[in-house]
Amino acid sequence: MQCNQFLNRMFSKACEYGIKAAIFIALKSYQGERVSLKDIAAKINSPEAFTAKILQKLAKNNIVNSVKGAAGGFEIEKHKIASIQLAEIVDAIDGDSIYIGCGLGLNKCSEDHPCPVHHKFAAVREELKKMLESTNLEELALGIKSGASYLRT
């Protein structure tokens, strides 16, 4: 008997992979290295082909550069790394409804027609928004570099 029940998340799996991938790419880019899909998937412990799709999305959103062909891979221009906010990555993959939308699924969140949890929820959601908008890739990458944090279990 498999007890599957219960695994709601703040971010989708795709988004989790996307964030971790971006961090790893940023880290390597600082070292002047370009990384392959294979390396990324191994490092962040994600399914390769699925990760490829996510990277395509990040590339289309100009968050990472992809380079085709032998010796190709993914990279981020060093000077851009510190200016990429977590919010941009989440936005590219999950959209902004997590920190914009109504907590109880009303068409839109509004003061004029609030859902029952609006006032309490909006505060938390705003915290999340601020957090995502004030956290950049550089600091996240530095945490990995210094050994203060980890990309996989």
CA-CA distance, 77 to 31, in Å (whole number)?
A: 11
Contact 63, 89 (CB under 8 A): yes
For residue 12, how many C-alpha atoms fall within 13 Å in the half-sphere facing its CB?
Answer: 16
Q: How far is CA 116 from CA 83, 96, 99, 105, in A?
A: 37, 21, 17, 11
* 106 belongs to the binding site for ligand FES (CB under 6 A): yes
CA-CA distance, 150 to 129, in Å (whole number)?
A: 23
Nearer to DNA, 47 or 110 (CB): 47
Contact 115, 67 (CB under 8 A): no
How many residues interact with DNA (rule CB under 7 A)?
Answer: 30
Nearer to a second copy, 9 or 68 (CB): 9
Nearer to DNA, 49 or 148 (CB): 49
| Residue 124 binds: one of a second copy, ligand FES, DNA, none (C-beta under 5 to 8 A by kind) | a second copy
Nearer to a second copy, 68 or 118 (CB): 118
CA-CA distance, 18 to 93, in Å (whole number)?
A: 8
* 102 belongs to the binding site for ligand FES (CB under 6 A): yes
- Shortest CB 130 distance to DNA, Å: 24
Which residues are near a second copy by CB under 8 A? 5-13, 15-16, 19-20, 23, 86, 94-98, 101, 103-107, 113-118, 120-121, 123-125, 127-128, 131, 135, 140-141, 143-144, 148-153
